[in-house]
Amino acid sequence: MIIIGEKAYLKTHDKREIQELDIDNKINKTIKAHNDEIKSTKVLRKESKTSNNDMYNNLKNKASILNRDKRHIQDKVSEIQIKQQKVENMEESLNQIKSYYLSSIRRAKQEEEKEKVKVKINKIKKEVDDLNSECITEVTELKESQDIIDAIGTALNKINDIKNKLEQYKSKLMNLECLVDKSKNELNLEEKKIETNLDENIILNPLDFISISGDLNIGIVVDIII
């Protein structure tokens, strides 16, 4: 037998035998190339899968943090809404007191009604003070009708300031919640891309479940994983 390169020739120079050996070598070479490609593909796919899994887990962690932040924001918004309701109730009470007092003056019952109004004003002032440190912190007994009206007006102005600040704070929280939702949507898109990429590995490597080993001289074994 004479070996030239990858081809083997018998001394008989039988063209049929030479052709068969040439075919055998080509088949063995094809099998080897196929197996090498499968090994390389599996290594790349394993590395890609590991990288994708890490990215997927990171996105899950970020999504969990965003969900926690959103719940915290929603809790804060609920607290603000409760405080807003309290402030509105106080404002309504003060306006009722003011209206009642002015009506009492017109009915010439000033001295009798002032004492009742004074008690009510003191109570409302204390409630406002409990809600916010910027509210009235000192209760003074008022005797003159104008002083009482002025005190009510001051309390209403401070209540209005509180309402504005609460509304501004709630607005900022709502904007922050929108940003959190936007970030969540972006994370969901990234998550879908990774899931799609994982599925595409099956499409890009459709034959990695087939393994061919051996050669024509000792026999060929074909493994098919189902």
Looking at residue 194, its pLDDT comes to 64
CB-CB contact of 94 with 152 (8 Å): yes
Looking at residue 2, its pLDDT comes to 42
CB-CB contact of 118 with 140 (8 Å): no
CB-CB contact of 156 with 166 (8 Å): no
Please tell me whether residue 138 adopts helix, strand or coil conformation. coil
pTM above 0.75, yes or no: no
Q: Nearest 5°: phi and psi at 47?
A: -65, -40
Q: List, in sequence order, every beta strand (DSSP E) within the chain.
A: 2-4, 7-9, 210-215, 219-224
Q: How far is CA 25 from the centre of its chain?
A: 59
- Residue ranges of the domains in the chain? 34-224
Looking at residue 118, its pLDDT comes to 58
CB-CB contact of 73 with 173 (8 Å): yes
Identify residue 112 by its one-letter amino acid code: E
- How many CB atoms neighbour CB 71 within 10 A? 11
Please tell me the class of the 34-224 domain: mainly alpha
Q: Nearest 5°: phi and psi at 44?
A: -65, -40
| Separation of alpha carbons 196 and 199, rounded Å | 5
**Sign of the CA dihedral 195, 49, 221, 5?**
positive
Report pLDDT digits (tens) over 79-125: 888 888 888 877 787 787 777 777 766 665 556 555 665 555 555 55
Looking at residue 135, its pLDDT comes to 42
Looking at residue 113, its pLDDT comes to 55
Name the stretches of the chain with pLDDT < 70: 1-56, 104-148, 191, 193-226
